Amino acid sequence: MSENPPLSSSPSPELAEVLKGARACHLCEEHLPLGPRPVLRAQSSARVMIVGQAPGTKVHESGIPWNDASGDRLREWLDLDSDSFYDDGRIAIVPMGFCYPGRNPKGGDNPPRPECAPLWHPPLRAALPNVELILLVGQYAQGFYLGKSKKKTLTETVRNWREYQPDFLPTPHPSWRSTMWLKKNPWFEKEVLPELRLRVKALI
């Protein structure tokens, strides 16, 4: 295992420039019912990157990523307290969509806006050279980062998590909607979570 890089108190000039642009982005403003409020955080020294879906209403209001019940479950999965989870010198939090995408009439939130990740993830990844593990939380992150190597279903992708090591580790989304999935797939908590916790603890 490589040594932890020294933590930076501020982003590198390259990362600072990308973050400034991302936080000022209005590209899909007309499609955002609550308006743009990009929520992401990162420092150049981060070694773990969490890629989720998009902020919900609570996160939009607070500006704090994963500041909701899904975040509580994700921190439980990682076995991290809030201080460690929100230490952006160690963990970068970069969702697929930076802004709240609105409500789906059929229930739940809309998917992340499709414009966001292709525009901002490549320059953010280039400005985060120390990242050694990317957690792909949910189907949208897995589709974007795994491409053709993603399986036909989220369950198959997560079950085959070893194929994507050491760079990626796919998980379901930790929302309440995943409760039944977790009951049907007990192997996730038995096999994947211990490895996930080991990897993250080793890196941060």
Q: How far is CA 154 from the centre of its chain?
A: 16
d(CA 53, CA 106) in angstroms, rounded, equals 18
d(CA 11, CA 15) in angstroms, rounded, equals 6
Q: Is the pLDDT of residue 162 over 60?
A: yes
Domains of the chain, earliest start first: 13-203 (3.40.470.10)
For residue 7, the model assigns a pLDDT of 45
- Which neighbouring-strand residues pair with 135? 50, 169
d(CA 36, CA 196) in angstroms, rounded, equals 32
Q: Which amino acid is at 195?
A: E
Location of structure tokens 């108190």:
9
pLDDT in tens, 82-139: 999 999 999 999 999 999 999 988 878 899 999 999 999 999 999 999 999 999 999 9
CB 90 within 8 A of CB 44: no
Q: Token pair of 16, please?
A: 């600072």
DSSP structure class, residue 34: T
